[in-house]
Amino acid sequence: MNSNKTKALLIAVGMVALLEVLGPPAFSQALQIDADRQFSFAESLFSEQKYPSAVFEYQRFIHFFENDPRAEKAMFRIGESHFQAGKPNEAIQSFSELINRFPNTTLAADAFFQISRCHMQRRDPVSAEAVMHNLISISDDPAVIDRAHHRLGWIQIENGQWDKAKSYFDRISPENRALYRLDDLGRELERADALEMKDPTTAGVLSVVPGGGFLYCERYRDALVAFLLNGALIWAAVDSFDNEQYALGALISFVEFGFYAGNIHGAVSAAHKYNRAKARGFIQELKQNARIQVSAKDAGLGLSFRYVF
């Protein structure tokens, strides 16, 4: 028994000695990730447009290396990633956190513009405008203020408010007018007044004769249907009352009320749709003609934007 125990002990000691000689197993070696590797990894995910993963890795970078000079850039990238992933609310929150943590930096100013852009994506031009006004009130940098006025002008253009747009562009300092090609833009905006629009009130008044409003709005088939249908129903109602079929006449009159009022509503709506389509077409053309492309790069570049609302 004692010899068996001794043998087992000797075998165990021998195995331990053998392991020491061979070295530790691979899985016991810890993987060292430093700030450079973590940030680089996050950047590669961002450039590959893997935005949810990029967000996670930038957050990991900020968590472990919060005092690294690139923490601000990482926060900005998180916002950009959320925006690119179609999550404007999360993007706004991220950019807001950046502004709170790093106020008065160049990236903080860029964050304001990104927040405005997020609001436009959410179809909330009022909030987009408000953000720009906030930036103008707190910024001392004339270049940033000019850029904000330029953005405000384009927000008004998107709203079809040409005169308001012109008033914002007029506030841009003379030294930046060439940069924003404001002379060209001004000439293009002059054409807005000459856009052929339809008057909804006129369309409504002309619809007193069924189909008249649709005809005014260049909807010829709708005009014909409205005229024939309303004409037939009016004739049927009158004929019913003439034949003392009052219940039938009342029923037809009720139906005719809907179609007659519908003819007026449809014509007024058609005029508004016509005007909206004209304005949108003009805005698209304006963007094409006045396109200014500058790629958004690192802090300090300034005045880098691309108008893609």
Partner 1 sequence: MNPSCSAYCVEAIEKHGSVAGWIMCCDRLMRCGRDEVAIAPSIWINGEKRCNDPVSANDFWWEDSHELK
Per rule CB under 8 A, count of chain residues that contact partner 1: 28
Which residue in 261, 296, 301, 308 binds partner 1 (CB under 8 A)? 261
Q: Residues near 304 by Cβ (< 8 Å), separated by ≥ 6?
A: 294, 295, 296, 297
- Assess 222 for contact with partner 1 (CB under 8 A): yes
- Residue 293 in 3-state DSSP? strand
Nearest-approach distance from CB 307 to partner 1, in angstroms: 16
Nearest-approach distance from CB 272 to partner 1, in angstroms: 4
Which residue in 172, 185, 279, 286 binds partner 1 (CB under 8 A)? 279
For partner 1, which is the closer residue by CB, 225 or 251? 225
Rounded CA gap, 131 and 125, in Å?
10
Of 37, 44, 109, which Cα lies nearest the Cα of 72? 109
3-6 long-range Cβ contacts below 8 angstroms, 24+ apart? none
Rounded CA gap, 108 and 140, in Å?
13
Of 136, 138, 90, which Cα lies nearest the Cα of 115? 90
The residue range among 48-56, 64-72, 127-135, 268-276 that interacts with partner 1, by the rule CB under 8 A, is 268-276
54-91: burial string, b at 16+ Cβ within 10 Å, e else: bbebbebbbeebeebebbbbbbbbbbbbbbebebbebb
Q: What is the DSSP letter of 176?
A: G
The residue range among 30-38, 58-66, 134-142, 270-278 that interacts with partner 1, by the rule CB under 8 A, is 270-278
Q: Residues near 54 by Cβ (< 8 Å), separated by ≥ 6?
A: 42, 45, 46, 77, 78, 81
Nearest-approach distance from CB 126 to partner 1, in angstroms: 10
Which residue in 225, 234, 251, 303 binds partner 1 (CB under 8 A)? 225
Binding mask 145-164 toward partner 1 (x if CB under 8 A, else -) reads -------------xxxx---
Which residue in 96, 167, 269, 304 binds partner 1 (CB under 8 A)? 269
- Assess 229 for contact with partner 1 (CB under 8 A): yes
- Assess 277 for contact with partner 1 (CB under 8 A): yes
Binding site for partner 1 (CB under 8 A): 158-161, 200, 214, 219-222, 225-226, 229, 258-259, 261-263, 265-266, 268-269, 272-273, 276-277, 279-280
